[in-house]
Structure 1
């Protein structure tokens, strides 16, 4: 599948870039260096421009292999990277995916997450025909809990983090809207 851009109201969602016109790599390195970010995002390390380049390349490959739809949350006039939102663990046959989300440390608390997550969920239900989207986060991550609630996810319980055995994750779901 080819990456698509999405209008998310005050923001737009686009693929991550590292080219002559727009380079997200410095912002990726900054975000992943933040202690709060690395506390909750444990599956990736982006410590330098080379690792950021691999991260951007990986995200593009995941689009094409239909494993993950990932978008840079971008400021619409400059294209600056504000964060990333995606549909990971994409199962087009089973009709499921999970939200992936992070916001650059300099941009947290500004209401970026909710419109970005809502846009990704709409894409999943509308363009990919998903039936259920999950949202999972560490129990201490109150910002993620607030986003899940504001986006209409329903809390279903706590399970073990597959990337960190013994660590809990709060799980929320949002079923596709019923057609009338």
Structure 2
């Protein structure tokens, strides 16, 4: 399946990116992910084989990643906010849960 974008009110959820227009690599490094570029590739693969779904919870006007949500197939979503961005995660997790229930 292709990555599903979700409008979560004040937040925009999208697939992770690392291209010449948008890169989530610095934000993922900020979250403590050891190899953020490889993490983006793995996230794309997870969507493709439907084994793991990953979203960047973003500020809609800038597209900046505020928190990260992942869910392995059949598992509840888990997330991690960047420092000071807990509200983005709190608002987005229930939306992702509803999406996953619809699969």
TM bracket, shorter-chain basis: over 0.9
Runs of 4+ in 1 over 2 A off after TM superposition: none
Q: Which runs of 5+ in 2 are unaligned?
A: none
State whether structure 2 residue 86 is matched by structure 1 residue 102. no
Task: Flag the structure with higher strand content.
Answer: 1
Highest CA radius of gyration, 1 or 2?
Answer: 1
State whether structure 2 residue 37 is matched by structure 1 residue 53. yes
Cα deviation, 1:119-156, whole Å, max 9, x if unaligned, reads 11111112x1xxxxxxxxxxxxxxxxxxxxxxxxxxxx
Inter-partner Cα distance in structure 1 for 2:101 and 2:76: 12
1:77-156 aligned within 5 A: 77-88=61-72, 90=73, 96-108=74-86, 111-126=87-102, 128=103
Q: Which runs of 5+ in 1 are unaligned?
A: 33-44, 91-95, 129-180
C-alpha RMSD of the superposition = 1.2
Q: TM-score, normalised by structure 2?
A: 0.92
**Highest RCO, 1 vs 2 (Cα 8 Å, sep ≥ 6):** 2
The alignment covers a number of residue pairs equal to 103
